[in-house]
């Protein structure tokens, strides 16, 4: 197992789907947390650092697109993938425009999903490093160091 395993947040309003997919991903070495609504997803993403959030599109209340917007606002740099049973071209374009790194259609093979998670995590690391570098530069500039 990796020293720093991939930590993902799975979001879907179907609890059985969440339970099943999370078991399959955990068997493959990922650390998985689940949320059954957009609101719960936002709360968990603010409490814990996840490398990738995997979002369903159609959910009661806050849907996948609204959740994606909130995540980008509240958790900058977070990598979001959409995993949906009703992917339309418009939804995929909208999600990509809002910063989703991937739009996948259910059912997706577990190995393919993990491959996409790893790709997204690489982007997460790059974004986090760039952000940290910018913050360090800002501190140095402020203090005239």
Cβ 92 to other proteins shortest distance, Å: 16
Cβ 43 to other proteins shortest distance, Å: 15
d(CA 132, CA 71): 19
d(CA 58, CA 61): 9
135: left (phi over 0), alpha (psi -120 to 50) or beta: alpha
Cβ nearer to other proteins, comparing 60 with 144: 60
Cβ 103 to other proteins shortest distance, Å: 15
DSSP H or E stretch at residue 122: helix 110-143
Token output for 145: 């160091």
Cβ nearer to other proteins, comparing 61 with 76: 61
Cβ nearer to other proteins, comparing 90 with 141: 90
* Phi, psi dihedrals of residue 114, rounded to the nearest 5°: -65, -40
Cβ 39 to other proteins shortest distance, Å: 9
Q: Which residues bind other proteins (CB under 8 A)?
A: 14, 16-17, 20-21, 23-24, 27, 58-61, 63, 85-86, 106-107, 110
């Amino acid at each position: 197992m990796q020293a720093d395993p991939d930590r993902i947040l799975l979001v879907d309003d179907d609890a059985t789907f969440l339970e099943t997919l999370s078991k399959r991903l955990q068997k493959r070495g990922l650390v998985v947390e689940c949320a059954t609504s957009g609101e719960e997803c936002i709360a968990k993403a603010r409490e814990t650092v996840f490398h990738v959030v995997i979002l369903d599109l159609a959910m009661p209340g806050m849907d996948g697109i609204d959740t994606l917007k909130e995540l980008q606002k509240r958790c900058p740099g977070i990598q979001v993938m959409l995993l949906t049973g009703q992917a339309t071209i418009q939804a995929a374009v909208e999600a990509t425009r809002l910063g989703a790194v991937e739009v996948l259609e259910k059912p997706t093979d577990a190995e393919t999903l993990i491959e996409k998670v790893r790709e997204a995590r690489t982007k997460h690391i790059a974004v986090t490093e760039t952000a940290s570098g910018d913050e360090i530069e800002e501190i140095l500039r402020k203090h005239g160091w």
